[in-house]
Amino acid sequence: MESTTTPSWEDDEWELCNDDGFVYKRRRRCDLDPLGGAVPAQPESGPDPEAEEMGRRERKRKTLLKLKAQYQREIEQWEYLSNTLRSMEETSLQLQQQRRQTVPSDSSTLPEVPRTVSVCGSLVQDLLLQVETQEAIIRDASNLCDIAEAMCNAHEEEANQSLIDLPIWATPASPRELLASLCD
């Protein structure tokens, strides 16, 4: 029976602690002095509160600068997309105006038989211009889709990296350090 129980010296050195639901084992502290009185609590030699405040402010400043840079990149990308879309609209309008200028004003009248060759030629030119316009619009839309996809991939990569960089994955961190870093 002796082998299944813990030795008496081990019971004296360790104690279980419950810190708001976080249960852990620590070395037992000697709370009483030899005279039987309680030992006065000594202040912990923790970090200076001013140094902690300065560190917190510095971390906050770095985080805000990182967010500012990220938002600035996003604004620049959206401005680029907006300018590209505006230039696509202008190009489309110019091609439509060119097409209108090439179409004769008397196209509503019936063409004469000897002019069928010239009418077919202008009709082919008109159709060719429409196809070229549509091709340019499709190419520009495809470019915009590629840019939007690249932005989404970059945003997803940043989100994944922010999760990978969490302090919870750091091996030597103590529970208190982990909670402190998560609260920041």
Going from the C-alpha of 136 to that of each of 101, 102, 148, the distances in angstroms are: 19, 19, 18
Query: In this structure, is the dihedral angle defined by the CA atoms of residues 75, 77, 80 and 84, taken in order, positive or negative?
Result: negative
Question: For the residues 119-132, what does the mean pLDDT come to?
Answer: 80
Please write the tens of the pLDDT for every residue from 32-86. Answer: 545 555 444 455 556 688 888 898 999 999 999 998 998 999 899 888 888 888 8
Task: Look at residue 105 in the predicted model and tell me its pLDDT.
Answer: 52
> Does residue 126 contact residue 95 with C-beta atoms inside 8 Å?
no
Question: For the residues 91-119, what does the mean pLDDT come to?
Answer: 63
Going from the C-alpha of 95 to that of each of 27, 89, 122, the distances in angstroms are: 83, 10, 16
